[in-house]
Amino acid sequence: MSTVARFHIEHVRLIDAEGEALAPLPAFARDPAALVPLYRAMYLTRTFDAKAIALQRTGKLGTFASALGQEAVGVGVAAAMRAEDVLLPSYREHAAQLVRGVKIEESLRYWGGDERGCDFSGPRSDFPNCVPIATQVCHAAGAAYAFKLRGEARVAVCFMGDGATSKGDFYEGMNFAAVWKAPMVLVVSNNQWAISLPRSAQSATATLAQKAIAAGIDGIQVDGNDVVAVHHIAREAIERARSGGGPTLIEALTYRLGDHTTADDASRYRDPALVQEQWALEPVARLRKHLLHLGAWSKAQEEALAHECAETVNAAVEAYLATPAPDTAAMFDYLYATLPVALQGQRASALRFAPHNGGDHDQSS
């Protein structure tokens, strides 16, 4: 008997929970000024996140999926992307979207049930939030393959949660991209919970990164609460994909500090003591400690940033709340070239009860 293949999975952490560097940092991280934008982006994400939950609780927003505790994954990866790359998010990637240039009021419109919130004024080629689990992996594989066929130096970066790695779409999309060496990076935000199902009940594998081995691509695990490590690994993976090296699967170990969504109550299935332990590892405080150690941050800067982020978010909320309601007919008029008969009746009923329909509806229907 002989061994046909061996593999191992690396775990990367560069800054510990106390903000101390564990090894010589990558070149980009040796300049503290280069880390401040990452901190500011995580802080803005957390400010937005808290405000969105408050809006939902007061009936001004629909169901919302918080990114509390996972800010470093989105910020670290998105900051490594070029403008021409394409983001394919799941529904918890506000951090990445804000870094990419999606406006807060656009995100609020989406969560408020207004599809115009997906018509980003900034990253025009980025995909909208994907709520079905893992289907965006196939979309990403197709986009990446198109980039390759066209000879474009672009990369498709696809985000998902840990539960998505148990779905067929995940394996199919990853396998396709691997075979064709499509420029694609898969980012798994392993926040330990697929709604109420713990990671231990989702997969028998020791890591989620090792699922890349079956597809024949690189898989690596990174501390998802260490934004420096996440950014470093993402930069390497994205540039490898851009240069023809094929896909990479990044497993970012983090923790969902909030509920799955505002429709969930995690206290029903989660040990509060464990959640409290995880707060000691959260990413925003970790990078703040690191910057304070370096003398690159101060209490005055922290207070100024808090004020700035609050003003930014509040202005976006005002813009969101002032947005005129969408035309009720739009949901019917842009779905089919010719509206099926069954939907024609629904369209008429919807318009009959619409409070703001612009007068183009048929009240007699």
pLDDT at res. 326: 86
- The pTM of this model reads 0.93
Asked if residue 1 belongs to a domain, the reply is no
What is the number of alpha carbons within 13 Å of residue 90 lying toward its C-beta? Answer: 25
Asked if residue 4 belongs to a domain, the reply is no
Domain encompassing residue 292: 10-322
pLDDT at res. 357: 52
pLDDT tens track of the chain, all 365 residues?
899 999 999 999 999 999 999 989 999 999 999 999 999 999 999 999 999 999 999 999 999 999 999 999 999 999 999 999 999 999 999 999 999 999 999 999 999 999 899 999 999 999 999 999 999 999 999 999 999 999 999 999 999 999 999 999 999 999 999 999 999 999 999 999 999 999 999 999 999 999 999 999 999 999 999 999 999 999 999 999 999 999 999 999 999 999 999 999 999 999 999 999 999 999 999 999 999 999 999 999 999 999 999 999 999 999 999 999 888 898 899 889 999 999 999 999 999 988 765 444 333 33
Give yes or no: residues 165 and 310 share one domain.
yes
CA dihedral 141, 144, 150, 151 (to 10 degrees): -140
pLDDT at res. 361: 37
Asked if residue 5 belongs to a domain, the reply is no
Q: Which amino acid, one-letter code, is at 156?
A: A
Give yes or no: residues 136 and 281 share one domain.
yes
Which positions are catalytic? 256, 260, 269
Give yes or no: residues 75 and 33 share one domain.
yes
Asked if residue 55 belongs to a domain, the reply is yes
d(CA 73, CA 69): 9
pLDDT at res. 365: 32
Give yes or no: residues 28 and 147 share one domain.
yes
Give yes or no: residues 78 and 150 share one domain.
yes
Asked if residue 3 belongs to a domain, the reply is no
User: What's the token pair of residue 266?
Assistant: 């995690």
Give yes or no: residues 272 and 337 share one domain.
no
Asked if residue 350 belongs to a domain, the reply is yes
The DSSP bridge partners found for residue 222 are 12, 252
pLDDT at res. 331: 86
The DSSP bridge partners found for residue 157 are 87, 185
**Into how many domains does the chain fold?**
2
Burial of residue 349 (CB within 10 Å: 0-12, 13-18, 19+) is exposed
Give yes or no: residues 279 and 345 share one domain.
no
The DSSP bridge partners found for residue 159 are 187
Give yes or no: residues 97 and 202 share one domain.
yes
Closest alpha carbon to 202 in 251, 250, 259, 156: 251
User: What's the token pair of residue 228?
Assistant: 């420096």
Give yes or no: residues 249 and 340 share one domain.
no
**Residue tagged 């070029």 (tokens):** 82
d(CA 325, CA 350): 14
Residue 334: how many other CB atoms lie within 10 Å: 9
Give yes or no: residues 30 and 151 share one domain.
yes
Give yes or no: residues 258 and 169 share one domain.
yes
3-state secondary structure (DSSP) of residue 159 = strand
Residue 56: how many other CB atoms lie within 10 Å: 19
Asked if residue 347 belongs to a domain, the reply is yes
Give yes or no: residues 21 and 166 share one domain.
yes
pLDDT at res. 354: 84
pLDDT at res. 360: 43
* CATH code (residue 313): 3.40.50.970
d(CA 120, CA 151): 25
3-state secondary structure (DSSP) of residue 335 = coil
